[in-house]
Amino acid sequence: MNNEGAHGEMKGMAKIVERNIAALLERQTVAEKNKKLEEKLADKVTRFTGSMLFVYIHLVLFGVWIIWNVGVIGLKPFDPSFVVLAMFASVEAIFLSTFVLISQNRMNAQADKRAELDLQVSLLTEHEVTRLITMVREIAKKMDISEAYHPEIDELAHDVRPEKVMDTMERHKKATADNHPIKP
């Protein structure tokens, strides 16, 4: 049986989720279109060099080169000491690693943007949840529900300050690096 509704929507998926997915995909499409020629080239080279076809081509090329220059097939060796092969492989490695680094730098920048967005959404969510806890707590007090007086609720009802979270994380990281016990 099909899980899709009349308009191609997945049953049970909120329209806001579909809208957000569409917005993210649109943004990715725009980012892809706005890539510089150098970035597109680096991505294509990186994608190809990370493929099995690239491995097979090199296995054949290097295999023929080695077999030819060892003298197994009876042809006159053109690189008996494999110096040219080593130079070729070294130059190729320099260029390939540069292309990979270009692609990785761009991907890291995208990951940083996504992390920043995640942080902003998390902070907004935390603020909203804090407000909801405060409202529910007040309702529970008016209804004389004892859980409203739980000590954890007091803690959860306060907004988390991002700078304090970062300070605490840095303190924990430093303490771990220095092998010191972590103090709250």
Q: What is the DSSP string of 103-115?
A: HHHHHHHHHHHHH
Domain ranges of the chain: 1-34, 35-177
pLDDT of residue 5: 47
Q: Measured at the alpha carbon of residue 148, what is the angle toward residues 147 and 150, in degrees to the nearest 5?
A: 65
C-alpha–C-alpha distance, residues 30 and 110, integer Å = 13
pLDDT of residue 113: 87
pLDDT of residue 169: 80
C-alpha–C-alpha distance, residues 118 and 115, integer Å = 5
pLDDT of residue 184: 56
C-alpha–C-alpha distance, residues 59 and 94, integer Å = 19
C-alpha–C-alpha distance, residues 79 and 145, integer Å = 87
C-alpha–C-alpha distance, residues 48 and 99, integer Å = 11
pTM exceeds 0.85 = no
Residue 49 and residue 100 in contact, taking contact as beta carbons nearer than 8 Å: yes
Mind listing the pLDDT tens digit of every residue in the chain (184 residues)?
444 444 444 566 778 888 888 888 898 899 888 888 988 888 899 999 999 999 999 999 999 999 999 988 889 999 999 999 999 999 999 999 999 999 899 889 889 988 888 888 888 888 888 888 888 888 888 888 877 667 777 777 777 777 777 788 888 888 888 876 665 5
**φ, ψ for residue 160 (rounded to 5)?**
-90, 130
Is 66 in a helix, a strand, or coil? helix
Residue type, 41: L
Cα 148 from chain centroid (whole Å): 40
Q: Hey, which residues does 4 pair with through a beta bridge?
A: 10
Written in H, E and C, the secondary structure of 163-178 is HHHHHHHHHHHHHHHC
